[in-house]
Chains A and B, each alone.
Chain A
Amino acid sequence: MGISYKHQIIVVGAGLAGLRAALEAKAAGLDVAVISRVQPVRSHSIAAQGGINAALGNAEGGRDDNWEKHTFDTVKGSDYLADQDAVEIMTKEAPGIVYEMEHWGCPFSRTAEGLIAQRPFGGAEFPRTCYASDITGHALLHTMYERSVKEEIKVYEEYLLLSIVKNADSCAGVIALNIKNGEIEAFEADAVIMATGGCGRIYNKSTNALINTGSGMAAVYLTAGVPLKDLEFVQFHPTSLYGTNILITEGARGEGGYLYNCKGERFVKELAPRDIVARSIQTEINEGRGYDNAYVLLDLRHLGKKKIIERLPGIRDICIHFAGIDPIDAPIPIQPGQHYSMGGIDTDAKGATSRPGLYAAGECACVSVHGGNRLGGNSLLDTIVFGKLSGRFASEYVKTKKKSGQGQALSLHLQEIKSKIHRLENSTGKEKPTDVRNQLKETLTENAGIFREKSKLQKGLAKVKELKERYKNIHIQNKNKKFNLDLVRNLELEGKLELAEVIVAGALNREESRGSHFRTDFPERNDEKWLKHTIASFVNGTVKIGYKPVTITQFKPQARTY
């Protein structure tokens, strides 16, 4: 039972972070390959709408912008939980990587002088968000993919990562399911870079792609002995389309859109940071000032037809196709939805985890540059900057690494995983996966959502533990080898359950309110006790929580007011 493939570096994930990491490793002269659950342009980065932050100073009113101001806005936005040294790296790199994407062909929108256009976004002092109308993620991911075609980056498509294989003090490679034929295959590598994106689909109202199940984070947590950081910090986007929860970009408010409750009142400063706007909207809904106890309205009509068509054509399309509404003529029904995971695989500012040879970048990682709340436009930036840096540092690591017998560890582990899958496929349990999956999503939204409190979190934790038990008796209907969605989705469910436990346990412990984590029973931030990162490790089948300090360089924590 051998090893299927061998490369110096394996990148898992073909979104912006993964492709950028692979390009960097390739440029460093290494043999690198990417494995991905989907064809690269099907990755969730494609869905980003609003833009990417960099202090270029191109916009009228943004000329005095610089990386220091970008750093301050990011740190303040994070509610001081971000590591300031890492934020500085990101904001200094920002203009360079945006120009590089432009040189590679990214079709950014333009200013009258022909420069990259920038728009205002929440929590930023200047119009700093570079955009390509409202399809910035699409423009960036296609450009990154085009570059990877040019550089002949090898991508193994439709593989689901199952496990990281360890050696004594390094990483031996990964085991993945070949979705096309059902084979379990081993990839040997000197270093592995994780770039598997977010885990939004643990919640039932999410703006995320259906494939954002967190399976990469879960594999690291469960099999690599590497902890997750700050996973209780979950961003709820204020404006997702009522019904499907497809995102309506913050750019819509950036361009001047208003929010109205059912009394026709504007109830919040539209461009305050996301956590604040999301809570205001949810409060309106909870207190009966929404519509159908479910949504409020985002009105773009006063922007006029021309501006809507020019700046927000994708949003208009979404409203027409998915809600039967043209925002030129009618306001858009919106509600908050899970949007982004500030937490993730614990890394340093080089993308390195505590296991030598294992790196992570993008939404699956937590450096941390977003702390308790991410500013809009900073995530695309994070994916490319830390994608690049993790690619660079992983390459350096590989070049100096002593070779060790990786093959053996892989073969052994391959057998283990094969038996595990075999057991799962042949389980005679009676539990329906759909029930477990749906109850998990409901529990998280209900008990670990926008507003949290002790009793609810306790209830949520008990429920997650119950569901973890029930998962052991799961029944898989489909026994086919080829494209077995049933199997894929149930493997993902296992990871979701574990991540859910980490989120709820971290939220229950953290008796304060900071950024997106809002405890109605502890409504204030408490720096004395809680200015620290949550570090969650998998020990004896459950989560063990510890903490580590936040790096503060320039900005002492202050009250966060807007």
Chain B
Amino acid sequence: MVTFKIARFDSDKDKEPRFQTYEVPDEKEMSVLEALFYIVENLDGSLAFRYSCRGAVCGSCAMRINGQNRLACQTLIKKLGSTTITISPLPHLPVQKDLMVDMESFFAKYEKIKPYLINNDPIPDKEFKQSFKERAEIDEMINCILCGNCYSACTMAATNSDYLGPAALTKAYRFYADSRDTAKAERLRIIDGEDGAFRCHTLFNCAEVCPKNIVPTYSIQKLKGAACFK
């Protein structure tokens, strides 16, 4: 048996989160997400959490598991190496219920950086050409699944509500560095300033928790450099 200590919170009833304990049979290769389903189906139908793909690609199930922001579906119980597992919602985001947080501020910042390709050249009949090397520059950033792990782990985002944060800045760099994008100057204007790239103090909290092994700090440093020399 594995003991799950799970933060419960319903803003209609609770002032503060409380922890509830559940015992879940320890099955081979069980993920934390599967354990949560075990609880909902067998122990407590009132537990709330988000899920969709169960394969670490949709970004729904980010939560804090044994002290670190992780994806529940990607975290095998076995790998945590502990018989007690503590789960709470992603920190520094408003809790909607139990393990669900409100991602509105996260997506508001995503929208702020104009998260779409801008190309004002005439559109070719076929594709825009792009070399291997040009495409390689955005290889890492395009893997982002917008899970929010990095944003929630970032000390600077936690203490400054206007800071764009690591995910939005990674996305900004993904477009800035895309050889097909023609809005470089505009992009640098958006990320310039103290609520933009320069707020990053290179603590690398973001990189530690990214389920896709992205290093947002890299994108942010590149943006800082570009903004300095523009």
Contact = CB atoms under 8 A, between A and B. Distances in A.
Nearest to B174: A107
A322 B73 CA distance: 9
A41 B145 contact: yes
B52 A209 contact: yes
Contacts of A455: none
Nearest to B142: A107
Main SS at interface, chain B: loop
A135 B29 contact: no
B202 interface: no
A105 B131 contact: no
B146 A135 contact: no
A267 interface: no
Given A105-B116, A110-B132, A209-B53, A482 B58 contact: no
A545 B41 CA distance: 35
Contacts of A509: none
Contacts, number: 153
B201 to A, nearest CB: 28
Interface residues of A, number: 58
Interface in A142-180: 142-143, 146-147, 149-150, 180
Given A42-B58, A210-B53, A244-B54, A486 B45 contact: yes
A485 B143 contact: no
Interface stretch (B122-130, B192-200, B215-223): B122-130
B126 A104 contact: no
Given A107-B138, A146-B116, A485-B40, A44 B52 contact: yes
B55 A478 contact: no
Nearest to B213: A317
A116 B129 CA distance: 8
A40 B40 CA distance: 25
A103 B56 contact: no
A115 interface: yes
Given A38-B52, A103-B128, A116-B127, A46 B46 contact: no
Nearest to A103: B123
Interface residues of B, number: 58
Contact of B55 (A105, A112, A322): A322
A247 B56 CA distance: 12
B162 interface: no
B51 interface: yes
Given A41-B59, A47-B58, A110-B135, A132 B142 contact: yes
A483 B89 CA distance: 15
A46 B135 contact: no
Interface stretch (B15-23, B80-88, B95-103): B95-103
B158 interface: no
A482 B116 contact: no
Contact of A321 (B56, B97, B135, B138): B56
A154 to B, nearest CB: 13
A480 B115 contact: no
Contacts of A314: 57
Contacts of A288: none
Nearest to A112: B132
B3 interface: no
Contact of B12 (A477, A478, A482): A482
A325 B50 CA distance: 27
Given A44-B52, A149-B111, A209-B54, A102 B47 contact: no
A210 B100 contact: no
A99 B117 contact: no
B60 A105 contact: no
Given A107-B135, A112-B132, A135-B143, A102 B127 contact: yes
A149 B116 contact: yes
A485 B48 contact: yes
Contact of A480 (B29, B46, B130): B46
A138 B57 contact: yes
Interface in B159-191: 175, 178, 180-181
A480 to B, nearest CB: 6
A321 B75 CA distance: 8
Contacts of B52: 38, 42-44, 209-211
A180 B96 contact: yes
Contacts of A41: 58-59, 145-146
Contacts of A143: 117
Interface string A498-519: 0000000000000000000000
Contacts of B178: 105, 107
A445 B165 CA distance: 45
B10 interface: yes
B97 A44 contact: no
A546 interface: no
Contact of B42 (A103, A434, A484, A485): A434
B66 interface: no
Interface string A297-324: 0000000000000000010011001110
B105 interface: no
A114 B59 contact: no
Given A41-B146, A477-B46, A482-B12, A102 B57 contact: no
B74 interface: yes
Interface string A22-61: 0000000000000000110111101100000000100000
Contacts of B96: 180, 482-483
A109 B31 CA distance: 32
B172 to A, nearest CB: 12
Contacts of B130: 110, 114
B45 A110 contact: no
A139 B142 contact: yes
Interface in A244-258: 244, 246-247
Interface string B63-95: 000000000001010000000000000000000
Given A42-B58, A211-B52, A476 B45 contact: yes
B32 to A, nearest CB: 12
Contacts of B111: 149
A480 B103 contact: no
Interface string B4-34: 0000001010000000000000000101000
Contacts of A110: 130-132, 135
27 contacts: A39-B60, A41-B58, A42-B60, A46-B53, A46-B57, A99-B126, A105-B117, A107-B178, A108-B127, A110-B130, A110-B132, A115-B126, A135-B57, A138-B145, A139-B142, A143-B117, A149-B115, A209-B58, A244-B29, A244-B55, A246-B55, A322-B29, A322-B31, A434-B42, A480-B46, A482-B96, A483-B97
Given A105-B116, A138-B57, A138-B145, 14 more contacts: A42-B50, A99-B127, A102-B127, A107-B135, A110-B130, A135-B57, A142-B142, A149-B115, A211-B51, A318-B55, A322-B76, A434-B42, A483-B100, A485-B45
Closest 3 CB pairs of A and B: A105-B117, A114-B129, A477-B45
